[in-house]
């Protein structure tokens, strides 16, 4: 292992704070800004800022490659004037390198030649990374993503896979301190992922807003791994709405912190979640703050309470595949049933994509009853994980006791049942928790609710579940 990297790794053995890190990113149009807003650097910046980091310096350039002399522009040739001056004395200087153009361009312009081969790509990023490391940068490399626009060489995907294999075999410890392994992400990194308009722009090269969020979260995860930064809820990619009653003074009425037995009109802490808060503008429909509802933690009494429907809502959410996370328990008036079947919110284990319904059990046996389409997940305070790929229909989640329920769903229009934890209009609009005013949803105590239109994968779910377990006293 080169001495420079070994020394930096020892220096990072004690966790740093983001405020002690100077973060600079470099790359092609994916970094410089192309595709669908908000771009990856913007979303990474939101996560970084919520963690306490300063402004990110963006040195990306559309059309540029890493190799020197590239006809579309060379990042290597810009390094001395554009990147090196951003080194900050007294801080850990981190350079995130993204780029796919060295695999795309087919014109050779002197050594090291650019082209469509993995060898040429590795040579180009190696030359740049070693130059940066010699100046004191800690380098993080992002694996190349797929593309299929007009002009993409027929061998691009084969060469991309060879490049990824090479990076994983020897990059860390030689040309970088960290590797962002998006090359086999099931949403943005597989061959053909670029054809999925849910995550990619129409040009089949650049990422859409949700794809950019996934990339940002992956870079943030590598930063956490490298420096020991703590995970925060703001690191969940593209959270649309959330509710977390465990946050001090997050539940308010007219900006005043809620009191036990009092009404709540807003649950907000954008600094933690970077998302639209849950609100209720109608006084008669506001949920009731309960100081010790779930394992001693506060929660909101919602659904039919004392004959009065109470719920929260958020506007302008996109419909489609996504992830719902809940921490809830039945109230005295409730039955503890949360129906996911009305919208055909399919539950299926993302990591295996098995047919039907599968679960990851955390302390309790879960069972799928095919005849009734009901998943009975037991009683008591436990963490339950149900993740779907949106390919299976008509499943119902029966939730009893204080539980964390996690479901990835495919939002189909339909008639929401009265036990629906989330309900929304066809094609997007207002999202209700639980149900809506005319059909107020499952009565119970709600402590945590989160919705993102992104189907989260295991590496994204794990820190979230750890957070929920620690916060709500629910063992994993």
Q: How far apart are CA 420 and CA 72, in angstroms?
A: 53
Domains of the chain in start order, with CATH, are 3-230 (3.40.50.1110), 241-472 (no CATH)
In this prediction, residue 457 carries a pLDDT of 80
Mean per-residue pLDDT for 285-290? 90
Structure tokens at 402: 């204080």
Which pTM value belongs to this model? 0.82
Spell 328-362 as b/e; 16+ CB within 10 A means b.
bbbbeebebbbbbbbbbbbbbbbeeeeeebbbbeb
Q: How far apart are CA 476 and CA 466, in angstroms?
A: 7
Q: Identify the top-confidence range among 168-182, 234-248, 348-362, 462-476.
A: 168-182
The DSSP code sequence of 126-156 is HHHHHHHHHTTPEEEEEPPPP---TT--TTH
Q: Identify the top-confidence range among 12-16, 119-123, 313-317.
A: 119-123
**pLDDT band, very low/low/confident/very high, at 315 (cuts 50, 70, 90):** low
Return the higher-pLDDT residue of 272 and 122: 122
Write down the mean pLDDT value for the chain: 74
Model confidence pLDDT, tens digit, residues 120-158 = 899 999 999 999 999 999 999 999 999 998 888 888 898
Task: Count Cβ atoms below 10 Å from residue 2 Cβ, excluding itself.
Answer: 13
Structure tokens at 162: 């060879």
């Amino acid at each position: 292992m080169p001495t420079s990297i070994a020394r930096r790794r020892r220096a990072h053995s004690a966790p740093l704070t983001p405020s002690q890190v100077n973060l600079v990113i470099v790359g092609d149009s994916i970094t410089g800004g192309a595709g669908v807003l908000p771009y990856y650097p913007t979303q990474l910046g939101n996560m970084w800022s919520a963690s306490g980091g300063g402004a990110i310096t963006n040195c990306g350039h559309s059309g540029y490659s890493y190799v020197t002399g590239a006809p579309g522009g060379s990042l290597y040739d810009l390094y001395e004037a554009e990147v090196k001056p951003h080194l900050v004395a007294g801080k850990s200087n981190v350079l995130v390198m993204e780029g796919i153009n060295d695999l795309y361009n087919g014109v050779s312009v002197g050594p090291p030649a650019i082209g469509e081969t993995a060898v040429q790509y590795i040579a180009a990023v190696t030359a740049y990374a070693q130059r940066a490391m010699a100046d004191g940068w800690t380098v993080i490399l992002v694996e190349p993503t797929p593309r299929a626009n007009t002009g993409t060489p027929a061998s691009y995907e084969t060469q991309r896979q060879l490049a990824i294999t090479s990076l994983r075999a020897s990059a860390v410890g030689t040309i970088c301190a960290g590797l962002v392994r998006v090359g086999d992400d099931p949403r943005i990194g597989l061959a053909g992922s670029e054809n999925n308009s849910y995550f990619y722009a129409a040009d089949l090269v650049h990422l859409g807003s949700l794809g950019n969020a996934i990339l940002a979260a992956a870079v943030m995860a590598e930063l956490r791994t490298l420096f020991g930064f703590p995970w925060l809820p703001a690191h969940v990619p593209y959270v649309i709405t959330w509710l977390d009653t465990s946050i001090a003074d997050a539940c308010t009425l007219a900006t005043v912190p809620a009191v036990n037995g009092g009404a709540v009109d807003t649950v907000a802490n954008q600094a933690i979640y970077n998302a639209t808060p849950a609100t209720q503008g109608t006084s008669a429909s506001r949920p009731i703050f309960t100081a010790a509802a779930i394992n001693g933690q506060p929660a909101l009494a919602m659904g039919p309470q004392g004959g009065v429907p109470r719920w929260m809502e958020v506007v302008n959410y996109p419909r489609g595949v996504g992830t719902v996370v809940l921490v809830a328990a039945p109230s005295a008036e409730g039955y503890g049933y949360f129906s996911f079947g009305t919208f055909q919110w399919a539950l299926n284990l993302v990591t295996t994509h098995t047919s039907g319904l599968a679960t990851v059990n955390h302390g309790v046996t879960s069972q799928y009853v095919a005849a009734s389409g009901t998943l009975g997940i037991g009683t008591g305070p436990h963490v339950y994980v149900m993740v779907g790929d949106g390919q299976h229909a008509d499943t119902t989640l029966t939730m009893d006791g204080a539980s964390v329920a996690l479901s990835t769903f495919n939002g189909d229009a339909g008639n929401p049942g009265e036990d629906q934890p989330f309900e929304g209009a066809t094609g997007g609009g207002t999202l209700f928790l639980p149900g809506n005013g005319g059909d107020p949803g499952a009565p119970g105590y709600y402590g945590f609710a989160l919705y993102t239109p992104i189907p989260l994968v295991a590496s994204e779910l794990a820190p979230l579940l750890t957070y929920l377990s620690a916060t709500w006293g629910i063992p994993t």
